[in-house]
A and B are shown apart, each in its own frame.
Chain A
Amino acid sequence: MKVDMKIDVHHLTRVEGHGNIEITVKDGKLEKARWAVVETPRFFEAMLRGMSHDLAPMLTARICGICSIGHSLASLRAVERAMEIEIPEPANVLRLLAKHGETLQSHILHVFFLAAPDFFGVPSVIPLIKTHPEVAGLAVRLKKAANDLCDLVAGRTTHPVSLVVGGLSKAPEKHQLREIRQVFVDRIPDIEATIELFKTLSIPDFVRETEFVALKGEKDYPWIGGDLVSTDGVVKPEDDYRAMTNEYKEDFTTSKFARLSRESLAVGALARLNNNFQFLEEKSRAAAEELGLTPVNHNPYMNNVAQVIECDHVIRESIKLIDQLLEMDLGDIKADYRVRAGEGVGAVEVPRGILYHEYEIDSEGLITKANCIIPTTQNNANIHFDLAALAEQELEEGKTDEEITHLSEMLVRAYDPCISCSVH
Chain B
Amino acid sequence: MKYLGIEPEKIKIGSFDFTCCEGCQLQLANKEDTLVDFLALLDVVNFREISSHRGEDYDIALIEGSITRADEVERLKKIRKRAKILVAVGSCACFGGVNQIKNKFPIEDVVREVYGDDPVETLPVRKVSDIVKVDLEIPGCPVSKEEVERIVVNLVTGAEIKFPKYPVCVECRRNLNTCVFDLGQICLGPITRAGCGAVCTTGKTGCIGCRGPAEEANYEEFRQILKDHGFTVRQALERINFYGGLPEMVIDES
Contact = CB atoms under 8 A, between A and B. Distances in A.
Chain B CB count within 10 A is highest, among A11, A47, A156, A251, for A47
A254 B19 CA distance: 13
Contact of A170 (B22, B98, B203): B203
Given A46-B113, A124-B52, A158 B32 contact: no
Interface in A43-64: 43, 45-47, 49, 51-52, 55, 58-59, 62-64
B144 to A, nearest CB: 10
B232 interface: no
B21 A68 contact: yes
A196 B109 CA distance: 53
Nearest to B235: A52
B49 interface: yes
A16 B111 CA distance: 23
A46 B52 contact: no
A109 B29 contact: yes
Interface in A35-84: 40-43, 45-47, 49, 51-52, 55, 58-59, 62-66, 68
B228 interface: no
Interface in B12-57: 17-27, 29-30, 32-33, 35-36, 39-40, 44, 47-54
Contacts of B20: 42, 65, 420
Size category of the B interface is: 35 or more
Contact of B52 (A13, A45, A129): A13
B129 interface: no
Interface residues of A, number: 55
A55 B238 contact: yes
Interface stretch (A139-147, A183-191, A217-225, A351-359): A139-147
Contacts of A28: none
B48 A42 contact: no
A421 B20 CA distance: 9
A40 B50 contact: no
B26 A136 contact: no
Contacts of B105: 46-47, 49
Given A14-B52, A109-B29, A161 B113 contact: no
The 6 closest A-B pairs by CB, nearest first: A65-B23, A155-B203, A124-B51, A161-B203, A144-B32, A169-B204
Interface of B: 17-27, 29-30, 32-33, 35-36, 39-40, 44, 47-54, 68-69, 72, 97-99, 101-102, 105, 109-111, 113-116, 118, 120, 122, 141-142, 199-200, 202-205, 208, 238-239, 242
Given A45-B113, A114-B50, 7 more contacts: A41-B120, A46-B113, A47-B105, A58-B208, A64-B22, A65-B25, A254-B120
24 contacts: A16-B22, A42-B99, A43-B113, A45-B113, A47-B98, A51-B238, A59-B101, A62-B21, A62-B23, A65-B21, A65-B22, A65-B142, A68-B23, A114-B50, A117-B51, A124-B47, A124-B52, A143-B29, A159-B23, A159-B142, A164-B205, A169-B203, A420-B17, A421-B21
Interface of A: 11, 13-17, 40-43, 45-47, 49, 51-52, 55, 58-59, 62-66, 68, 109, 113-114, 117, 123-126, 129, 136, 140-141, 143-144, 147, 155-159, 161-162, 164, 169-170, 249, 251, 254, 420-421
